[in-house]
A and B are shown apart, each in its own frame.
Chain A
Amino acid sequence: MSINMNRRDFIKVAGMGAGSLAFATPLFDFTKGEVLAPDAVPGMYAKKTPTYCEICFWKCAGWVHTNQDGTIWKVTGHDDDPHSNGRLCPRGTGGVGMYNDEDRLKTPLIRTEVGGIQTFREASWDEAFTYIAEGLKKVGEEHGPECTALFSHGSGGKYFGDLLKAFGSNNITAPSYAQCRGPREVGFFATYGEGVGSPERVDIRDTRCLVLIGSHFGENMHNGPVQEIAQATAKGASIITVDPRFSTIASKSKFWLPIKPATDMALLLAWMHVIINEGLYDEDYVEKYTYGFEDLKAHVAQMTPEWAYGLTTIKPETIRETAREMANASPRVIIHPGRHVTWYGDDTQRLRAVAILNALLGSWGRRGGYYNPEKVSFKSYPHPPFPKPTRSWKDAFPGKYKLAGLSLASGICDATIPTVERDCSFKAWIVNGTNLIHTLPNQANTLKAIQALDLMVVVDTMPMEITGYADVILPECTYLERYDNIRVSPHREPTLALRMPAAKPKYNTKPAWWMAKGIAEKMGLGHFFPWNDIEEKLDWELKQVGSSLEEMKRLGVKKLDRSYDDLYPMENLEDFEFNTNTGKIELYSTAMEDEGYDPLPKYKAHEEPPEGYYRLIYGRAPMHTFSRTANNPNLTDLMDENSVWVNPKVAKAWDLKNNQYLWLENQDGVVSKTQIKVRITERIRFDSVYMVHGFGHTNKKLTRAHGRGASDADLITKVHIDPEMGGTGMRGNFVTFRFEAGEEVSS
């Protein structure tokens, strides 16, 4: 067997799915395990089965309602679930579209060559597992098991992670760190000795003032916070939104600060200046808990609202007024850390500033500020100890990204490209549930890395662009058709949630646990998966925490009591030792200083768009998650393409018309692969354009998504790396309008 692929052509995953298997399932009543007559009447409600959603990472628990014929009718929220409170967001409600999508991956595929042309051939699971096992073992023998990596952004990734750990690699990564929330975890950890986590520990429900910097809840449909914002504002809470775009939440805010992009740090420092100089900070809290107040005071002494005005375009009086608004609400105030915060490369420092501002107002550990989450202490099914890897991805970056708490997806991608200095270039990737072509910035770099691999395995439910570069594609069944690990997530109260199959997997698709265990067995690593099937594993694990699989099948969600009554541990200035060098909240970060980084956040000017170019800002739509949902029939029905938001003044200068299609070209001459529709709107600043991420798919096998809208990822070629933790700042790209296509692209 040869897995030497020097030339890895993109293959459009053709309709080679097992068509004959396609419609076999509705006749099998999975709920009862019996075959129904072909004329069983659909549309009759029969049963509900617990699940937690996989359409985004919020993982709301709910119920899957099935018809009598075993097909899925609808998905609804679970009343006992703190993530959803009985109500799913549109993506969760439309989750059934993922199950019904006829473009799904249908059977295992292996790259092959026919007459000089690369193509995929259908394979049995056994063949596919053998191919992968041999490929991984070969990489292990030639380069060491550490040269294998997993990219994962899905629940099934846990099992492939265990496979790699069993093999001897701990290079397990998710783009949700270095391409998303990493800087905030590092910034808050440096300040409080704890990160923010997910779901975020923000007590929006009881807040009196919520400050959002670039966060666009409502469009960004994180279910819990959107629900709690509605509750809090109904009780009179005010919102301050900082955004160059008049977002939905800006329209519901008491203050909207239409900031000049890339100057948020100046605003944060000026707010600190006002709060300190006007004596608005929480003196007792700062005195008891914090370290470095005098240093901070001196640091921001010159950073007046007048200084910030010249940078941010926010009027000094507005800066003062909003600072007082926050202080009046203190300690029930949240300067929200945001989630996707990899913007300009100084993001860890900006999130440090956010953390410091919260500390000045005494909101950490207080009701209406930041609560102390708790999760169930959960034991995994026992297995032999994993071998200890001798190398990790970090070895490829000596002296860099010293505060990175998790592995960097972009770092592993970079370290895959061979250089003279590196002896640990990656040779094999497993990619689970993440379309790296749209997820990682700088596509050319990603493709270069892929070409350097000996083996790439892609596990997905859909023929996403990344599948076209795979050597082996494993079709995963959707979350509605499978078990995954128990959801054990931190919240005000610890909860458990079960996902179990509500329907038999369509086509020849399988759950990740079954695949990972099967590959492990082929590799002689089966003893690391010592359970016979997933039910045995889950039942054992649940029994350790006083539940059982049988109970969870009935309940779906189980709430447990908190171990300690410490939801708001600093509410009454209780003694508390923070997990920092000084045991205090570090306004002045000794950990940053020790590693050679700025101990206090500084304003840094960022590059501005050249004439005729506009800063590319991207965000979310409530009915889509990344590029993952772009082909979902229910969600595509709500929104089937993105548009580029253009201020009317800009439109006039370029003679643009509403709904006109054009291409975008960035500062490096890279042109969007597809066209995008113009939306002329007052809701965007004149120096920026905006688009929703996740569109512009180029794989024809995504029949609803193909060619619809454009991809911001195409245009993010310039990346500003966060020196502290390696985050990829992606908001420093500028685009102009182009009225004819770029060069022909092969994919």
Chain B
Amino acid sequence: MRYAMAIDTLKCVGCNDCVVACQTENNVPIGHCRDWIVEKTTGTYPDLQLEIRSERCNHCANAPCVRTCPTEASHYAEGGIVLVEESECIGCKACITSCPYDARFIHPEGYVDKCTFCIHRVEKGQDPACVSVCPTHCMVFGDLDDPNSDISRAMATRKWKSLIPEAGTDPKVFYLI
């Protein structure tokens, strides 16, 4: 089982619904977020391109955060989901420094927080909150080891990219382009 997410940049309108859904679902304190929107404009008026991406923890298979964590608070859970065990976290920020995606932050209660792929929902067979609310259905979540999963099909039929591949982290969030 290898959980992954693919986000269709051709559909995404950058509305931030994924951001606010994550915040309410997971009680993320206001002022912090586990996912966010990036907009990149290229070209000169009127020959322009715009790419919009919903970004979050990439749940890397070769995760620097897990390697650098001195207490093993950062760890792999089932399906390769990268999690932080709050009670083990000492707030040293080594993982924050090592993450090439800037996906982690210090929760006001002192531990490091980030996207969990909504493991509490995934365990019940539901999609992560961000995927479940997206008005354009631009996100797919599922198991890469299952060739019939929506995500395997999307990856097989569409061009895609991942972010900062040169970091060698083997990320599990993909962008359909």
User: B-contacting residues of A (Cβ < 8 Å)?
Assistant: 43, 73-77, 87-90, 93-94, 96, 217-219, 221, 223, 226-227, 229-231, 233-234, 246, 248-249, 251-252, 256, 258, 622-623, 633-635, 637-639, 647, 681-686
Task: Give chain A nearest CB distance to B127 CB in angstroms.
Answer: 11
Contact: B24 with A248, CB < 8 Å?
Answer: no
- Check if B143 is an interface residue, CB within 8 A of chain A: no
Q: Which residue of A lies closest to B21 (CB)?
A: A93
- Known contacts A251-B48, A637-B31, A88 near B13 by CB under 8 Å: no
- B13 lies within 8 A of A682 (CB): no
Cβ-defined contact, B45 with A638, below 8 A:
no
Interface residues of B in 29-51 (CB under 8 A from A): 30-31, 33, 41, 43-46, 48-50
Task: Mark each residue of chain B from 39 to 82: 1 if its CB lies under 8 Å from any CB of chain A, else 0.
Answer: 00101111011101000000000000000000000000000000
The reply to whether B25 and A74 form a contact with Cβ atoms under 8 Å apart is yes
From A42, which residue of chain B is reached at the shortest CB distance?
B27
Residue of A nearest to B15 (CB): A622
Chain B residues whose CB sits within 8 angstroms of the CB of A233 once the complex forms: 10-11
Query: In the assembled complex, which residues on chain A have CB atoms less than 8 Å from the CB atom of B119?
Result: none
The answer to whether A90 and B17 touch across the interface, beta carbons within 8 angstroms, is yes
- Sample of 10 A–B contacts (CB below 8 Å): A88-B135, A90-B20, A93-B21, A226-B135, A230-B11, A246-B41, A635-B20, A682-B43, A683-B48, A684-B45
B136 in the interface, Cβ–Cβ < 8 Å? yes
* Bound Cα distance from A226 to B135, whole angstroms: 7
Q: How far is the CA of A653 from the CA of B61 in the complex (A)?
A: 50
Report whether B133 and A77 are in contact in the complex, using a CB–CB cutoff of 8 Å.
yes
Q: Verify A634–B24 contact, CB threshold 8 A.
A: yes
Taking CB as reference atom, which chain A residue is nearest B23?
A: A634
* Residues in chain B within 8 A of chain A (CB atoms): 10-11, 13-17, 19-21, 23-25, 27, 30-31, 33, 41, 43-46, 48-50, 52, 132-138
The CA of A94 and the CA of B52, in the complex, are separated in Å by 21
Q: Chain B contacts of A684 at CB under 8 A? A: 45
Task: Please tell me if the beta carbons of A633 and B30 are within 8 angstroms of each other in the complex.
Answer: yes
Q: Which residues of B contact A685 (CB under 8 A)?
A: 45
- The answer, among A43, A226, A639, for a CB contact under 8 Å with B136, is A226
**Pairwise interchain contact B133-A623, C-beta atoms closer than 8 A:** no
B153 to chain A, nearest CB (A): 14
CB distance from B72 to the nearest CB of A (A): 26
| Nearest B residue to A219, CB-CB | B13
Q: How far is the CA of A623 from the CA of B23 in the complex (A)?
A: 14
The residue in chain B whose Cβ has the minimal distance to the Cβ of A73 is: B24
Are B24 and A74 closer than 8 Å at their CB atoms?
Answer: yes
A248 pairs with B14, CB closer than 8 A: yes
Cross-chain pair count, CB within 8 angstroms: 117
A96, A217, A229, A682 pick with most chain B CB within 10 angstroms = A682
Chain A residues within an 8 Å CB radius of B135: 87-89, 221, 223, 226-227, 230
Complex CA gap A685/B50 in Å reads: 16
Neighbouring A residues of B25 by C-beta, 8 Å: 74
Known A-B contacts A219-B13, A230-B137, A638-B16; A251 and B49 likewise in contact (beta carbons under 8 Å)? yes
Contact of A256 among B31, B46, B134 (CB under 8 A): B46
Give the one of A231, A233, A683 with max B CB within 10 A. A683
In the complex, what distance in Å separates the CA atom of A89 from the CA atom of B27?
18
Across-interface contacts of B13 in A (CB, < 8 A): 217-219, 221, 226, 248-249, 252, 622
**CB within 8 A of B16: which of A87, A90, A223, A226?**
A90
List residues of chain B with CB within 8 A of the CB of A74. 21, 24-25
Q: How far is the CA of A15 from the CA of B52 in the complex (A)?
A: 41
Partner of B44, one of A77, A622, A682: A682
- Considering the chains assembled together, what is the distance between the CA atoms of A637 and B33 in angstroms? 9
Residues of chain A lying within 8 A (CB to CB) of residue B19: 90, 638
- Chain A hits for B31, CB < 8 A: 637
Q: Are B27 and A43 in contact (CB under 8 A)?
A: yes
B15 near A623 with CB under 8 A, answer yes
Kindly list chain B residues whose C-beta atoms are within 8 Å of the C-beta of A43. Answer: 27
Shortest CB–CB separation between residue A678 and chain B, in angstroms? 16
Q: In the complex, which residues of chain A have a beta carbon less than 8 angstroms from the beta carbon of B44?
A: 682
In the complex, which residues of chain B have a beta carbon less than 8 angstroms from the beta carbon of A638?
A: 16, 19-20
**Docked complex Cα distance between A623 and B136 (Å):** 15
Contact indicator B46/A258 (Cβ below 8 Å): yes
**A residues in contact with B50, CB < 8 Å:** 246, 248, 251, 683
Complex: how many Å from CA A258 to CA B49? 14
* CA gap between A87 and B49 in the complex, in Å: 28
What are the residues of chain B within 8 A of A221 when measuring CB–CB? 13, 15, 135
Partner of A93, one of B33, B45, B133: B133
The chain B residue with its CB closest to the CB of A94 is B20
